[in-house]
């Protein structure tokens, strides 16, 4: 598995899937998007903001929703990850949302992805810490224990 770090305009990132953090908006009155997500929203004709504001996307903590088409963006699809309410998004909530996102991401039939979860502001945590947590989470999500499986037998049980 390979990882790389990029700094780029999120709307122009060419990737199979772009993982996008979103906050829950009380009463669906307006969207509360991070600055980088607002750039995506502008490039996609306000797709993300409209979906969040209308309630079509549930931004509750650790809720994950796939948008299979992302008009105006370099990404083929978007994986929206709920952070819950902005005021309640602290380290524990961030890690829970991150694990939910990586668990969903690993199930997709894709070869690459870009993750914007390092954009989420957390008190006393820098981008390096968040990047490390993203890597740890993807490692946990992709880990498969198969040490005791028998070779040549997909179920691990003897035939018969």
* Distance separating alpha carbons of residues 43 and 11, to the nearest angstrom: 6
Amino acid 8: pLDDT? 79
Domain extent for 119: 12-142
- The reply to whether 157 falls in a domain is no
Q: What is the CATH number of the domain that holds 72?
A: 3.40.220.10
- The reply to whether 74 falls in a domain is yes
Total tally of structural domains belonging to the chain: 1
- The reply to whether 152 falls in a domain is no
DSSP 45: T
- The reply to whether 7 falls in a domain is no
Instruction: With a cut of 70, say whether residue 155 has pLDDT above it.
Output: no
Give the model confidence (pLDDT) of 119-132 as tens digits.
Answer: 999 999 999 999 99
- The reply to whether 159 falls in a domain is no
Mean pLDDT of 63-87: 95
Tell me if 17 sits within 8 A of 106, measured CB to CB: no
Give the model confidence (pLDDT) of 7-64 as tens digits.
Answer: 778 899 999 999 999 999 876 555 689 999 999 999 999 999 999 888 899 999 999 9
Residue 116 CB contacts under 8 Å (≥ 6 apart), including other chains: 10, 18, 19, 20, 21, 34, 36, 37
- The reply to whether 36 falls in a domain is yes
**pTM of the shown model:** 0.85
- The reply to whether 50 falls in a domain is yes
């Amino acid at each position: 598995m390979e990882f790389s770090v990029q700094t780029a305009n999120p709307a122009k990132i060419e990737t199979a899937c772009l993982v996008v953090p979103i906050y829950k908006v009380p009463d669906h009155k307006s969207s509360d998007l991070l600055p980088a997500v607002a750039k995506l929203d502008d490039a996609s004709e306000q797709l993300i903001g409209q979906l969040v504001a209308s309630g079509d996307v549930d931004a509750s903590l650790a809720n994950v929703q796939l948008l299979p088409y992302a008009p105006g963006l370099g990404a083929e699809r978007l994986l929206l990850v709920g952070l819950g309410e902005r005021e309640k998004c602290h380290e524990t909530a961030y890690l829970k949302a991150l694990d939910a996102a990586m668990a969903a991401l690993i199930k997709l039939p894709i070869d690459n992805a870009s993750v914007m979860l390092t954009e989420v502001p957390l008190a006393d945590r820098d981008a390096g810490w968040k990047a490390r947590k993203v890597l740890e989470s993807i490692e946990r999500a992709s880990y498969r224990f198969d040490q005791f499986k028998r070779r040549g037998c997909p179920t691990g049980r003897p035939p018969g």
